[in-house]
Amino acid sequence: WYPGLAFPAMGIEDTIPIFDNLWSHGAFSEPVFAFYLNTNKPEGSVVMLWWGGPPVLQGRAQLDTSVPKLDHWQISMN
């Protein structure tokens, strides 16, 4: 499962970004998402995918500094 947030032209070949896929299936009425990154290490950060109802995917996040491309960033979720 690849939950990338890149535009399709910038994403991994032959993958559909999660929001493009959800949008095409009518999962939400507006193409909006949010995330919160916190530099306070004990508390960590939170990624929440939300579009009007209860959160669909929620978890703690850490910045992954081994990003394979310089024009991308990624996070690891526990």
Q: What is the pLDDT of residue 1?
A: 45
- Enclosing domain of residue 56: 8-77
In tens, the pLDDT along 55-67 reads 555 556 555 555 5
Q: What is the pLDDT of residue 10?
A: 75
Residue 45 domain-assigned (yes or no): yes
Residue 2 domain-assigned (yes or no): no
Domain count along the chain: 1
DSSP string, 25-49: TT--SS---EEE----TTT-EEEEE
- Please tell me the distance from the alpha carbon of residue 1 to that of residue 17, in angstroms, as a whole number: 10
In tens, the pLDDT along 6-34 reads 777 777 777 777 777 877 888 777 666 66
Residue 1 domain-assigned (yes or no): no
Look at the pTM and tell me if it is higher than 0.85.
no
